[in-house]
Copies of this chain bind each other. A is one copy, B any other.
Amino acid sequence: MTSHLDATRESYDTVAEDYAVTVRPLFDQDPLGRAMLAAFAEKVRGPVADVGCGPGHVTAHLASLGLDVSGVDLSPKMIELARRQYPDLRFDVGSMTALDVPDGSLGGLVAWWSIFHLPPETLPAVFAGFRRTLVIGGRLLIGFHAGDERLSPERAYGHPVSYDAYLLRPEWVAELLGQAGFEVTARLTMAGKKRPQACLHARAV
C-alpha cells in the first residue's frame, strides 16, 4: 500500500467519530447532492458499490432508495462505525484503487467526495478500475470539490491529519472518464459553503 493511502487511512481512523457526526447533518442539508443520488438511483440496475463510504450514511441513503448497495472504505474505523450504525448493510475494508469485485459485476458505482485524496496522476488507473467492475451500461456517480489546488490540512474535524486533498477541474475529470470508457451524461457544478463542488454522472460504454 502506498504512502498516500496509509496517510488517508490513518487520518480517517483518527477523525472517524467526529467526522461521522459532522457529515451526516451536512448531507441532510444538501438537497442538490441528494437529488444527484436520487437520479442515479432511478437509472441504475443491479448491485452498487459506494467507494470511500466513510461512516455509511450515503450507502444507507442509497439503500433507502431501493438499491442493492454495499460500502467500501480504506479506514477500518470508518467501516466499524458504518457496521454499527447500519447493521443490515454490507461494509468492507478496501481501497477504491483495487476493488475486490469481479469484472462487470456491478450495475453502479458511487464515489461520493472520496476520490479527492488520490494524487491526480493516479486517477486514470482508478477510473479504469471503476470501469472494469461495471457492466456495459453501468452507471457511475462522482462528487468532488472543484478547483485545481492541492490542500494539505494539518487538522480536520478537531484532530491532526496527514492527508492531502486535491481539488479537481470537472472538465479534466470528465476527460479522464471518457478515456477510461465512460460517457459523461450529466455534469453539475454548484456553489459550496467553502468552495465550488461538482458531480458527474457517467455511463460505462
Q: Spell out A's residues near B (CB within 8 Å).
A: 31-32, 34-36, 38-39, 42-43, 183-191, 201
CB distance from A193 to the nearest CB of B (A): 12
Q: By the criterion CB–CB under 8 Å, are B43 and A39 in contact?
A: no
Contacts of A38 in B (CB 8 A): 31, 34-35, 38
Copies in the complex: 2
Contacts of A187 in B (CB 8 A): 188-190
User: How many Å lie between the Cα of A191 and that of B42 in the bound state?
Assistant: 16
User: How many Å lie between the Cα of A32 and that of B32 in the bound state?
Assistant: 11
Q: Which chain B residue shows the least CB distance to A183?
A: B191
Q: Which chain B residue shows the least CB distance to A40?
A: B31
CB distance from A140 to the nearest CB of B (A): 14
Among A183, A185, A188: residue with most chain B CB under 10 A: A188
Contacts of A201 in B (CB 8 A): 32, 190
Contacts of A31 in B (CB 8 A): 38-39, 42-43
Contacts of A43 in B (CB 8 A): 31
Cross-chain pairs A/B with CB under 8 angstroms, 22 sampled:
A31-B38, A31-B42, A31-B43, A32-B39, A32-B186, A32-B201, A34-B38, A34-B39, A35-B35, A35-B36, A35-B38, A183-B191, A184-B191, A185-B190, A185-B191, A186-B188, A186-B189, A186-B191, A187-B188, A187-B189, A188-B188, A190-B201
